[in-house]
Amino acid sequence: MRIEVILGSTRPGRLGDRVCRFVIGKAALVNGAEFTVLDLADHPMPFFDEPLAPLANHDRRPSAPVRAWLEAMAAADAYVFLTPEYNHAPPAALKNALDFLATEAAGKPATIVSYSTTAHGGALAGQHLRLSLSKAGMLPLPRSLPLAHAHRLFDPTGELVERSDWAPRVAEFVPASLRDLVEHARALKTLEEATTSGM
Ligand SMILES: Cc1cc2nc3c(=O)[nH]c(=O)nc-3n(C[C@H](O)[C@H](O)[C@H](O)COP(=O)(O)O)c2cc1C
């Protein structure tokens, strides 16, 4: 199984790097899947500029960064979306990237990891994102644990450093939700193969 961990913040000095290092560290404990980071900062796309919605456009000519993003999404079996909360929503760069999708991610499961420096943990951004992922045909899984005060939870290397009651829940929840994602990806792939082979 190939899983893309999508880093939704593109700003310099982002807290998202710590969250991403933590998630990738926990992903190493999950068997049977290869997790790679898909950093939107490496895919500087224009604001959505196509004359038609991707699903309705049969003559798309995406620019190289958009094509690279679409190909990476198409090659994956599942996704982990790391989203901060900007004004109660995911960052514009992440929403913009999703707007370019046609069917590349359709039918594949996704886990949302939201975070913020406040007590909300990006919960509203996570809910926003859930709707957009569904509209793009993905299957966002129900498990979610917004990472509140994420700047205090992790050090720059992604180690969990806060020693509150809440830290052990984060330490357990993240690998469990990654395992859940891989199990769903496997089951959905089996289902798809059975459907295409006409079983
Ligand atoms: C433009 C902007 C809007 C923000 N809006 C919210 C918000 O609505 N809710 C929240 O909990 N934190 C908000 N924050 C604080 C973020 O949680 C914090 O900056 C976090 O570090 C963002 O993640 P990043 O550093 O990976 O980009 C906002 C930050 C920025 C830059």
Between the CA of 81 and the centroid of ligand 1 the distance, in Å, is 16
3-class SS at 182?
helix
The amino acid that residue 1 corresponds to is M
Looking up residue 145, the CATH number of its domain turns out to be 3.40.50.360
Number of independent structural domains in the chain: 1
Range name among 17-26, 95-104, 146-155, 165-174 with the lowest pLDDT average: 165-174
Closest ligand 1 atom to the C-alpha of 8?
A: 26
Residue 162's pLDDT is what? Answer: 78
Residue 192's pLDDT is what? Answer: 85
Residues having CB closer than 6 A to ligand 1 are 9, 11, 14-16, 84-88, 116-118, 120, 122
Whether 145 shows a pLDDT value over 90: the answer reads no
Residues 160-192: b if buried by 16+ CB within 10 A, e if exposed: beeeeeeeeebeebbbebbbbbbbbbbebeeee
Residue 58's pLDDT is what? Answer: 93
**Mean of per-residue pLDDT scores for the chain:** 95
Q: What is the mean pLDDT of residues 44-69?
A: 95
Instruction: Supply the range of the domain harboring residue 54.
Output: 2-196
Between the CA of 162 and the centroid of ligand 1 the distance, in Å, is 20
Residue 199's pLDDT is what? Answer: 66
Confidence of residue 165 (pLDDT cuts 50, 70, 90): confident
Residue 47's pLDDT is what? Answer: 97
